[in-house]
Amino acid sequence: MQSHTTRLTALSLALTAALGCNRNNDSVGREAAQQATQHVTRASGMVDNLLDGLKTGLSHAETVVGAAMVAPVDAARVRNRLLDLGDDHNAVGRELSFFPTYFVIAVGPDGRAIAANRTVANDWSPGLDVGAAFACVGAALSGAAGTCAGTMPTRPGELVRNYAVAAVPLRAEAGGPVLGALVGAYSFGGLAKAVRVALDNETQRARVQLAVGIWNGTRVVPSGNDNDVQQMYLVPQALVAALPPDVGARVASARPSTFTFSQNDGAMQWGGAIGQTPRLGAATGLIVYRAPLRQ
């Protein structure tokens, strides 16, 4: 039978081990949060590159699509030119294939859609007031290419989504009059997925689990019922619920902020970071979650 002293010694060692484990767990979460901060900064740059690259790619299609915008405008002809932009057998198509666009739309001088890069049976765009939804479309109709963000419904019954778009003027020939605008859009969910895939590739040797979302001023995208990305890229509800309650204020802060939390009774330590993405709007921010696979 163990002596009283032996039992006390064993209890002391157990408590010391447990406290040491807690300290180690705390440090795991803090380290993951610091790494997530670096991911947020890196991801903001990725968003900038995706928008700038899309704007450049669309500008190379200016006369390709613009030639189909000469009056009288034939929507079928415009749609065929847009579908050609998805063909990697031509130089413009190869360039644009690098960008995960949700849609590419040609709009007329009134800012309303003529056609999208969809087959006629699946083209929900004709008549949509794209110019009213995105300020940079109006600028493109005035001759200036640019990028911006906004919301717009697509097909009936679907969620009203947040989009980041690039818009360029359409001309039938270089230096000619502006006949409309070419608009390429990323859904916020698609942007978050693109960032996640890039970060997964960069951290492959580190053996970590990542999740990436965009705070759109009210909620995390993609999560819940968002269907613009595969389920594996949705931010799980458990991670959404772990966000600090002042996430909006943190997004408005000049620097990324961190948070930590645990799952499975402390067996899984997570670190997260929240930071600005100025190109997507003042109330919009990136959220990156990170957890080591071995803890």
SS3 77: helix
Domain assignment of residue 57, given as a range: 51-187
In a domain, 244, yes or no: yes
In a domain, 150, yes or no: yes
Residues 60 and 180 in one domain: yes
Mean pLDDT computed over 95-100: 89
Residues 285 and 227 in one domain: yes
Residues 108 and 85 in one domain: yes
Predicted confidence at residue 26, as pLDDT, reads 75
What total number of domains does the chain contain? 2
Mean pLDDT computed over 214-236: 95
Predicted confidence at residue 153, as pLDDT, reads 82
In a domain, 15, yes or no: no
Q: How confident is the model at residue 24 (pLDDT cuts 50, 70, 90)?
A: low
Residues written for the chain:
295
Asked if residue 202 lies in contact with residue 222, where contact means CB atoms within 8 angstroms, the answer is no
Tell me the average pLDDT of the chain: 89
Q: What is the largest CA-CA distance in the chain?
A: 99
Residues 177 and 245 in one domain: no
Domain-ending residue, one of 158, 187, 216: 187
Domain-ending residue, one of 131, 157, 187: 187
Q: How confident is the model at residue 22 (pLDDT cuts 50, 70, 90)?
A: very low
pLDDT beyond 60 at 3:
no
SS3 67: helix
Residue 266, domain CATH: 3.30.450
In a domain, 5, yes or no: no
Residues 100 and 199 in one domain: no
Strand stretches in 113-221, DSSP E? 113-116, 146-152, 161-171, 178-187, 208-215, 220-221
Residues 106 and 226 in one domain: no
In a domain, 20, yes or no: no
What amino acid is encoded at 68 in this protein? Answer: A
Asked if residue 68 lies in contact with residue 113, where contact means CB atoms within 8 angstroms, the answer is no
Predicted confidence at residue 25, as pLDDT, reads 63
More confident residue, 13 or 196: 196
Lowest mean pLDDT: which of 18-27, 116-125, 228-237? 18-27
Predicted confidence at residue 16, as pLDDT, reads 35
In a domain, 23, yes or no: no
Residues 144 and 195 in one domain: no
Going by C-alpha positions, the residue among 275, 292, 293, 295 that lies closest to residue 284 is 275
Domain-ending residue, one of 187, 218, 249: 187
What's the whole-model pTM score? Answer: 0.87
DSSP 112: B
Predicted confidence at residue 5, as pLDDT, reads 40
Mean pLDDT computed over 25-42: 92
In a domain, 33, yes or no: yes
Predicted confidence at residue 93, as pLDDT, reads 79
Residues 77 and 159 in one domain: yes
Helical spans, DSSP H, in the chain: 4-59, 62-66, 75-84, 91-96, 130-133, 135-141, 188-202, 237-241, 247-252
Q: How confident is the model at residue 8 (pLDDT cuts 50, 70, 90)?
A: very low
Going by C-alpha positions, the residue among 154, 160, 94 that lies closest to residue 127 is 154
pLDDT beyond 50 at 81:
yes
Number of H helices, E strands in the chain: 9, 10
Residues 56 and 122 in one domain: yes
Q: How confident is the model at residue 154 (pLDDT cuts 50, 70, 90)?
A: confident
More confident residue, 154 or 238: 238
Q: What is the percentage of the chain residues whose pLDDT exceeds 90?
A: 78
Residues 170 and 201 in one domain: no
Phi-psi domain of 43 (left: phi exceeds 0; alpha: psi -120 through 50; beta: other): alpha
In a domain, 22, yes or no: no
8 token code pair: 């006390």
pLDDT beyond 80 at 69:
yes
SS3 55: helix
Residues 248 and 153 in one domain: no
Q: How confident is the model at residue 148 (pLDDT cuts 50, 70, 90)?
A: very high
pLDDT beyond 60 at 191:
yes
Residues 6+ apart with CB under 8 A from 54: 96, 99, 101, 147, 166, 184, 186
Mean pLDDT computed over 3-28: 46
Distance CA 273, CA 46 (A): 16
HSE-CB for 295 with a 13 A CA cutoff: 27
Residues 229 and 108 in one domain: no
Q: DSSP of 177-205, one letter per residue? A: -EEEEEEEEEEHHHHHHHHHHHHHHHTGG
Mean pLDDT computed over 66-77: 95
Residue 174, domain CATH: 3.30.450.20
What is the tens place of the pLDDT at every residue in 51-62? Answer: 999 999 999 999
Q: List own/partner pairs for 122-129 with CB under 8 A and 24 or more apart.
A: 123/79, 124/154, 124/155, 124/156, 125/154, 126/75, 128/152, 128/154
pLDDT beyond 80 at 7:
no
